[in-house]
Amino acid sequence: MAESKFTSSQLELSASNVLRKLQTPALGIGGIALAASFVGALVWPQPFYQAWLVAYFYWLAMALGSTALLMMQYISGGRWGAAIRRPLEAAASNVPLMALAFIPIAVGLKSLYPWADPDLVATSKVLQYKAVYLNPTFFVARTVVYFAVWTLISNRLVAWSRESDTKGWGAKHAGRISVLSHAGIIIWALTMSLAAIDWGMSLEIAWFSHIYGLMFAGAQILSALLLAVIVSARIADHRPITDILSPDRFHDLGKLMLAFTMVWTYFQLSQYIIMWGANLPEEVEWYIIRNEGGWEYLTLFLFLFHFVVPFALLLSRARKKNPMSIAGVATLLIVMRYVDIFWWITPTFSPHAFFVHPMHLTTVLGIGGIWMWRYIGTLASHPLLAVHEPVIETELEHA
C-alpha cells in the first residue's frame, strides 16, 4: 500500500478548542452529582440503588453499543462507520469504567433483587427453583466474566485501530480486526443478552420475555449511534473532518437512526402483542403495571417521542443531511433512551403509583459526568480521523 499523504499531525485538529472545553464542566457536574448521590444513599438507600441501576443501564449502553457498532462497521465496511470510528472508539474505551460503576449494584443486591434476600427466598417456591442460577455468588461471577470479555474485545479493537495510525492499514491488520469483529459480534450478543436477563429481567420474580436480551442489545446500538451523531455534528465544521463528515455521511447516519428507531419499536410492539394476546397472568401483569397508576402517561409519552415524532422528523432527506438538524433529533432520542430504561425498571419497584426521586437525577448526572469527562479526554487525545483508513484517505485525496 502506498505511503499515506496525510500524517497524524495533519489530522490532529484543534480538539482542545472543540472538545476539551467541555471536559472540565463534565467532571465538575459529575463529581458534585456523585457526591450528592452517595450522601443521598445514606438517607434513601432503596431509591439510590434503584436510580443507580437505571443510570447504569443508560451509560453502559453507549459503551457497549459503540463496541458493537465498531464490529458491525468492520464487518460491513460501510463509509458511515469510518467517519465516526474515533467517537465510537472513545466510547468503547469506557467499558472498564462501567465495570467499576457496577460496584454499587453488587453492594445493593438485597435492595434490588428478590432472589438476593434469603428471607424472601425461603418463602417463595419460584425463587427456590431459580436459586441454582440466581444467587449472589454466581451472579457476581458471571458479571466478572461479562466485563472481562467486553473489555478484551473493546481494548483490542481500539488498540489495533490506533496502531494503524503509525503502522498503516495492511492486509494482516485488516484480517485480525475482521476475525475479531465476526466472532466478537456473536459473543457480544450472547453475553449482553445474558447480562440483561441477570441485571434487568431478574428484578421480576415470575415474569420473563424471550426477546428481553435482544431488546437491550438493539437499544444499545441506537444509544451509541445517537452519541456519535451528536459529537460528530459538533466537530463537523472543522477541516479536514468536513470532507469526511459530509452531508452524504450524515444522511447515512440519519438513515441508520431511523432504522434502529424502527427496530426498537418493532421489538417493543412484538413483545406487547405476543404477551397481551397470550393473556397469561404472569406475563400480562408486567404491562398492566405500566398502564395504570400514572405510568400510562409515561407509556404514551415514550411512544410519541421515542417513535412517532423521531420517525416523522427522520423521513426528511434534507433534515438528515443537515448536521445540526440531525443532531437535534439525536438529542431528543438520547433523552428518550433514559426514559425508556426508566420505564422498564422503575415500575417494578413502584407498581401502584408513578414514582420519581431526586436520586434519578443525581445518579444519571454523576455517572454521566465522569463518563463524559473520560470520553472527551480519550477522544481529544488522538487524531479525530483514523490516519491510514483507506476510506478516509480516498475521500481526503478526492477533496
- Which tens digit of pLDDT belongs to each residue from 220-231? 999 999 999 999
First-residue to last-residue Cα distance in the chain: 20
Asked if residue 394 lies in contact with residue 58, where contact means CB atoms within 8 angstroms, the answer is no
What is the pTM (predicted TM-score) of this model? 0.93
How does the average pLDDT of the chain come out, rounded? 90
Residue 23: Cβ within 10 Å count? 18
- Whether residue 7 is contained in a domain is answered as no
- Whether residue 348 is contained in a domain is answered as yes
- Whether residue 21 is contained in a domain is answered as no
- Whether residue 230 is contained in a domain is answered as yes
pLDDT of residue 8: 41
> What is the C-alpha to C-alpha distance for residues 84 and 81, in angstroms, rounded to an integer?
5
Query: Domains in the chain: how many in total?
Result: 1
Q: pLDDT at residue 355 above 70?
A: yes
- Whether residue 16 is contained in a domain is answered as no
Q: How confident is the model at residue 20 (pLDDT cuts 50, 70, 90)?
A: confident
Query: What's the full length of the chain, in residues?
Result: 399
> What is the C-alpha to C-alpha distance for residues 109 and 111, in angstroms, rounded to an integer?
5
Q: pLDDT at residue 56 above 60?
A: yes
> What is the C-alpha to C-alpha distance for residues 193 and 185, in angstroms, rounded to an integer?
12
| Residue 150: Cβ-neighbour burial (10 angstroms; 0-12, 13-18, 19+) | buried
- Whether residue 93 is contained in a domain is answered as yes
Q: How confident is the model at residue 77 (pLDDT cuts 50, 70, 90)?
A: confident
Asked if residue 362 lies in contact with residue 50, where contact means CB atoms within 8 angstroms, the answer is no
Residue 119: Cβ within 10 Å count? 8
pLDDT single digits (tens) 158-201: 999 888 777 766 667 778 999 999 999 999 999 999 999 999 99
- Whether residue 79 is contained in a domain is answered as yes
pLDDT of residue 201: 95
Q: Which domain holds residue 312?
A: 26-398
- Whether residue 196 is contained in a domain is answered as yes
> What is the C-alpha to C-alpha distance for residues 126 and 206, in angstroms, rounded to an integer?
7
